[in-house]
């Protein structure tokens, strides 16, 4: 079963999701898109679900109020790029250009243009980082794919293909480098064992700071809405 409960004023929509393995009702708010989901054990009734959500309404509103505001792509919007906040300005003519601390984006479709620009910049930053780290440990890698993933910043398959979120280009350069080192280290260890982390530390001794930055600030990188 799936469905939606609407709660209070202003209305909040709560998506309902059955999960055979769930043991109790769990309510959570996605950092990525601000949507609320109630996970229900198989046998929980809709009435129980409603009562639970009503009891949690105050908590739910607090969680939603605390989410980073969605940055809209309007003139004056602040867009993080390589760890700096640039101010967006839509202009006639050329596609995307960084002019000092101003990010000039042509119309129409500034969101799509900016997305394409960031993806390209991410590739330009990630490819040399991956080459450098893979060279350090003497491992070949396969394809590099860039996506707009919500749940992970990168991944590595057993045949050596790497995937990264292009939103990493919005983070400070060392944070992007850390994710590159993290995935490259999976070319040796497909786990997060102590040996794995030793290898990451060999490649990047201060990796823990960058890992921490991502935990603290990752939601902000996801809060910029590119409309797709
Ligand atoms: Zn990992």
CA of 118 to the centre of ligand 1 (A): 23
CA of 35 to the centre of ligand 1 (A): 26
CA of 225 to the centre of ligand 1 (A): 26
Give 173's Cβ-side CA count (13 Å radius): 6
CA pseudo-torsion sign 170, 171, 177, 178: negative
Tell the residue number behind the tokens 């997060």, with chain if given. 192
Tell the residue number behind the tokens 């769930």, with chain if given. 22
Q: Give the tens place of pLDDT for each residue, 207-217.
A: 999 999 999 99
CA of 38 to the centre of ligand 1 (A): 28
Mean residue pLDDT of the chain comes to 91
Determine which of 13-27, 68-82, 187-201 has the lowest per-residue pLDDT on average: 68-82
In three-state form (DSSP H/G/I as H, E/B as E, the rest C), the secondary structure along 2-62 is EEEEEECCCCEEEEEEECCCCCCCEEEECCCCCCEEEEECCCCCHHHHHHHHHHCHHHHHH
CA of 193 to the centre of ligand 1 (A): 10
Pairing assessment for the beta strands 144-147 and 162-165 based on DSSP bridges: parallel
Q: For the CA atoms of 150, 152, 157, 158, what is the dihedral angle to 10 degrees?
A: -150
CA of 156 to the centre of ligand 1 (A): 8
Tell the residue number behind the tokens 């990525």, with chain if given. 32
> How many residues are given for the chain?
228
Whether the CB-CB separation of 35 and 13 falls below 8 Å is answered with: yes
Calpha distance 56→92 (Å, rounded): 48
pTM above 0.85, yes or no: no
CA of 183 to the centre of ligand 1 (A): 6
Tell the residue number behind the tokens 């996605």, with chain if given. 30
Whether the CB-CB separation of 86 and 98 falls below 8 Å is answered with: yes
- Please report the domains of the chain, with CATH numbers, ordered by start residue: 2-66 (no CATH), 78-222 (3.30.2010.10)
Judge whether residue 135 has pLDDT over 80.
yes
Calpha distance 155→160 (Å, rounded): 10
Q: For position 2, what pLDDT does the model report?
A: 61
CA of 34 to the centre of ligand 1 (A): 25
Judge whether residue 181 has pLDDT over 90.
yes
Pairwise pLDDT comparison (186 vs 108), residue with the higher score: 186
Give 2's Cβ-side CA count (13 Å radius): 3
* Pair of tokens at residue 121: 């910049």
SS3 154: strand
| Percent of the chain's residues with pLDDT above 90 | 71
DSSP code of residue 107: S
Buried b (16+ CB within 10 A) or exposed e, 147-166: eebeeebbbbeeeeebbbbb
115 pLDDT band (50/70/90 cuts)? very high
């Amino acid at each position: 079963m799936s469905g939606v409960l609407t709660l209070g004023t202003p209305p909040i929509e709560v998506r309902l999701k059955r999960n055979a393995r769930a043991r109790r009702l769990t309510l959570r708010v996605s950092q990525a898109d601000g949507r609320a989901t109630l996970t229900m054990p198989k046998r929980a009734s809709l009435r129980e679900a409603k009562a639970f959500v009503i009891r949690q309404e105050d908590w739910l509103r607090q969680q939603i109020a605390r989410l980073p505001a969605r940055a809209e792509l309007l003139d004056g919007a602040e867009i993080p790029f390589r760890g700096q906040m640039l101010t967006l300005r839509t202009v006639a003519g050329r596609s995307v250009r960084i002019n000092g601390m101003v990010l000039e984006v042509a119309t129409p479709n500034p969101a799509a243009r900016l997305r394409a620009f960031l993806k390209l910049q991410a590739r330009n930053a990630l490819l040399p980082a991956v080459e450098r780290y893979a060279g350090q440990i003497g491992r070949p890698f396969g394809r590099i794919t860039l996506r707009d993933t919500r749940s992970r910043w990168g991944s590595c398959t057993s045949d050596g293909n790497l995937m990264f979120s292009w939103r990493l280009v919005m983070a400070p350069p060392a944070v992007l480098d850390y994710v590159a080192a993290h995935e490259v280290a999976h070319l040796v260890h497909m786990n997060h064992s102590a040996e794995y982390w030793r290898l990451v530390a060999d490649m990047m001794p201060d990796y823990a700071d960058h890992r921490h930055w991502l935990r603290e600030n990752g939601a902000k990188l996801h809060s910029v809405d590119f409309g797709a």
